[in-house]
Amino acid sequence: MGIDARVSKKAGAVALLAAAGVSLTSIPAAANGATARQPAAARAGVQAPTDPGTARLPSGLSALSWMVADADTGNVLAAKSPHRRLAPASTLKTLFAVTVLPKFSAGTVRRVSSADLDGIGAGSSVVGVRQGRRYTVGDLWRGVFLRSGNDAVHVLASMNGGWRTTADEMQETARKLGARDTTVKSPDGYDAPGQVSSAHDLTVFARAGLANEDFARYCSTSRATFPGAGGATRIENTNRLLVGSHGMARYPGIIGVKNGYTTKAGNTLIAAARRNGRTLLVTVLNPQSKEYNAVYKEAGALLDWGFRTAGTAQPVGTLHAVRATDEDGGPLRPVAADVTPAPRGGSPWRGPLVLAAGGAGLAAFGLGAVLARRRQTRDGGVRRGGTA
């Protein structure tokens, strides 16, 4: 497998999220299922609360598909075509991280070979990994999350047994998480024939990821250093809602997660934010308005709507928990195989879950209420071409 060192992690109960004074509390480890049963025509369109007095959805939403979900309760607050299968671009790196990140400790060192970098797609976003240089696994994950580096993904996939093996493991992880709309062909999210995901599935991946302290830390990092030929160089996250750049202000309470772009996928984004004790996830796929920063503006508008609406209106559906048979990595068994309406008046879950799946290399951690502050960061941008 070409692995210099490999360290397995066991599930833990408390995790630190360094997100400008933002912390997540008791996010369940994973999700399975989607929104409530509705006629096919309704499922293909917009699903939103109809309670009297509920805030109207934002105007001008042009994305082909989107979802707003409460990360703590699993309630789906609103969605448009949540199971429409679309190219995900680099938001698929969330599934890559959920699958591979728990396998190697951050301090593990890898000397990059030419084989590690084989097959990087033309025009890919890269962080600057060089053959013959040594990188820690932590360096590589910062390259994945901040710069969407397909070169870093290739090295980590090589450590994991290869490109095809990693794609197969990601597919198995998606299956165990109940994400049935996803087909993995290229683990970095680069456009490949047949590769698709959905707003539902990407929300599931982000939610499972945020239950892992390392994922939560990396996806919320705005600025870091990366080894370069002349010494450490500064890299900034390409998520404009996180860093505040290119005409976008940093979103209040932003946690982060992942943005992406390819020619086929257009702009894609999974954004998580926490305000007033509530954590929301918004996934937006391929806005059609052609407006500058459309994916960020639409995600921000949906987050604003969600924070106004959450807890006051009947959800349109719920995400279901997936439990492991034992904490050390037995087979996963979904609580429910299909979707059901969300109950009124509370969460369907009673506390955090722990998820582990040795076969897919998946281990997620329950999140606690540890609070951390992080300094403000300078602007960062999005790299276009391939995935970003």
Catalytic residue list: 90, 93, 148
CA distances from 84 to 66, 183, 340, 365 (A): 9, 13, 19, 29
| Number of Cβ within a 10 Å radius of residue 130 | 12
CA distance 381 to 147: 9
Q: Which two tokens stand for residue 157?
A: 């996939």
CA distance 373 to 281: 21
Amino acid at 346: G
Q: Are strands 16-17 and 370-371 parallel, antiparallel or unpaired?
A: parallel
Question: What does the H/E/C string look like for 11-80?
Answer: CCCCCEECECCECCCCCCCCCECCECCCCHHHHHCEECCCCCCCCCCCCCCCEEEEEEEECCCCEEEEEE
Q: Which two tokens stand for residue 332?
A: 């996963």
The residues pairing with 79 across neighbouring beta strands, listed in sequence order, are 47, 67
